[in-house]
Structure 1
């Protein structure tokens, strides 16, 4: 079994153990540096995976978003556009993902929000997010420079949340096994999909 399929299987277990909330169990977060060809990765993703396209203002964002939307429709994936509701509407994305500092309006049928602690989780819940992406759980190569929450603290936050919590940050097929029974409803990753 490939590492991506192992990650997907673990994500499904977490989602099932969390009561099967009506959200994707597995999320692929794009990154311009670490995943320079998100379309190639999207073509290999397991069905029902959510793609979070983070374009960070790239000049070719509309073209890439359009290609990702086509791939998502053809392969049974979901597409969320990060912090860009206009682009999400233009390409017919399934929704929007908001960074913790920009939580705003819902566009489409699915809205996720990032959080880095209890305050961010509370903000996501208040905004009516369908899921909250808590990060970073483990050490990561992310440019955010945030120290990892650690498994114990992240678990406390996930268990206390009223919104389903997705684990992000250093998540791969090996670290995902440590997340079982800790209150998470799914997994998100960047590098684990690029391998």
Structure 2
């Protein structure tokens, strides 16, 4: 366990700048998208649309590609499942994260101050703060925009990854070092 914990801490110190999230919308192009990402990027496997056997099989297929590219592979599920499946960490709401005793990297989702405070209390390794910009997945929903995004990000006690409407152009507009996308990287 001590070896795995030190590996996780070493990985945490080099938290990827770029993250791809899986979704039903980008499933058909994930293999290609994973190969196009810079070596050592991050990948969050969600695939909520699949049943358990199909979700596990798809995870294994994508994990093979992610490993050849030295990508981090996080699972949107429990820490127990992440360990069983061989993921590097978990992704989810701050209240679903385990206390910092886990050797897994833990990335919390946040949309406002309450969730940032929860992530701070739970000791998350990073936060994906969204939606930075308008998204296809939530048309018409309000986005944070650069000023509000930065104001909220200042309250996080860990690295913040911008999510929501992110692509090369919006990443430049936001001028934020870490960002993630579903459609913008697929």
Taking the aligned partners of 1:97 and 1:189, their CA distance within structure 2 comes to 14
Distance 2:155 2:89 in 1: 25
Is 1:25 matched up with 2:3? no
Q: Which runs of 5+ in 2 are unaligned?
A: 1-11
TM-score, with normalisation over the residues of structure 2? 0.82
- The answer as to 2:113 corresponding to 1:118 is yes
* Among candidates 96, 108, 119, match of residue 103 of structure 1: 96
> Alpha-carbon deviation of 1:48?
1.2
2:165 to 161, 170, 173: 170
Look up the match of 1:138: 133
Alignment of 1:10-159 (within 5 A): 22-56=14-48, 58-59=50-51, 60-100=54-94, 102-105=95-98, 108-143=103-138, 146-159=141-154
Query: Any unmatched runs of 5+ in structure 1?
Result: 1-19
Equivalent residues of 2:161, 2:178 under 8 A apart: yes
Aligned to 1:160: 155
Contact 2:22 2:44 in 1 (8 A): yes
Distance 1:55 1:113 in 2: 17
Whether the aligned pair in 2 keeps the contact of 1:83 and 1:99 (CA below 8 Å) is: no
Q: CA deviation at 1:176?
A: 0.7
Q: Please state how far the C-alpha of 1:91 moved relative to its aligned partner.
A: 2.4
TM-score (norm 1): 0.79
The whole-number CA distance in structure 2 between the counterparts of 1:190 and 1:118 is: 23
* Partner secondary structure for residue 24 of structure 2: coil
Tell me the alpha carbon deviations over residues 63-118 of structure 1, each in whole angstroms, 9 at most, x when there is no partner: 11111222222111110001243432222111100135x52226543110000011
Using the TM superposition, give the Cα deviation of residue 185 of structure 1 relative to its aligned residue in structure 2, in angstroms: 4.5
Counterpart Cα distance in 1 of 2:49 and 2:25: 13
> How far off its partner does 1:58 sit?
0.7
**Matched residue of 2:16: which SS?**
coil
Query: Greater RCO between the two (CA within 8 Å, min separation 6)?
Result: 1
Q: Is the 8 A contact 1:89 1:108 kept in 2?
A: no
